[in-house]
């Protein structure tokens, strides 16, 4: 099994190089050199490594074809639905709620009435 088909590098090389996904080969090259100037290997070796790895993923047309296949997909921007039902709160306290509380002071909330039993005399 070759690496090209098995490896899905899920880091986004385009974002490492600050590029849009459809960037041209020239744009990729320029972005790479710009980034390397910003993060030279002597001062920032870890970032440089990431930049280099990202560039390797996009460098050749073949490799880029594979890279593009396994990129993390951005979710579509979320928009609230145009026709939504009324988003108004009902800010009144309804009798129903008050009566729910009132019932709590009565037999209404009991479920055992053994004390209401009477003995049987036969």
The H or E element containing residue 85 is none
- Give the span between the Cα atoms of 40 and 15, in whole angstroms: 18
Judged by CB under 8 A, the chain residues 46 through 65 that form the site for other proteins are 65
Sign (positive or negative) of CA dihedral 112, 114, 118, 119: positive
Angle value at C-alpha 112, between 106 and 116, nearest 5 degrees: 80
Judged by CB under 8 A, the chain residues 66 through 95 that form the site for other proteins are 66, 68-70, 72-76, 78, 80-81, 84-85, 87-95
Contact flag: residue 43 with other proteins (CB under 8 A): no
Contact flag: residue 98 with other proteins (CB under 8 A): yes
Q: How many residues bind other proteins (CB under 8 A)?
A: 56
Contact flag: residue 5 with other proteins (CB under 8 A): yes
Q: Considering the complex, what minimum distance in angstroms separates the CB of residue 39 from other proteins? A: 19
Nearer to other proteins, 43 or 104 (CB): 104
DSSP label at 114?
A: G
């Amino acid at each position: 099994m070759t690496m090209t088909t098995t490896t899905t590098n899920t880091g986004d090389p385009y974002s490492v190089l600050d590029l849009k996904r459809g960037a041209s080969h020239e744009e990729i090259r320029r972005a790479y050199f710009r980034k390397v100037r910003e993060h030279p290997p002597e001062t920032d070796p870890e970032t440089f490594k990431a930049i280099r790895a990202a560039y390797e993923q996009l460098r050749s047309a073949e490799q880029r074809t594979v890279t593009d296949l396994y990129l993390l997909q951005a979710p579509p921007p979320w928009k609230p639905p145009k026709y939504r039902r009324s988003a108004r709160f009902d800010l009144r306290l309804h009798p129903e709620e008050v009566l729910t509380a009132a019932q709590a002071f009565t037999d209404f909330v009991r479920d055992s009435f053994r004390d209401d039993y009477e003995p049987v005399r036969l």
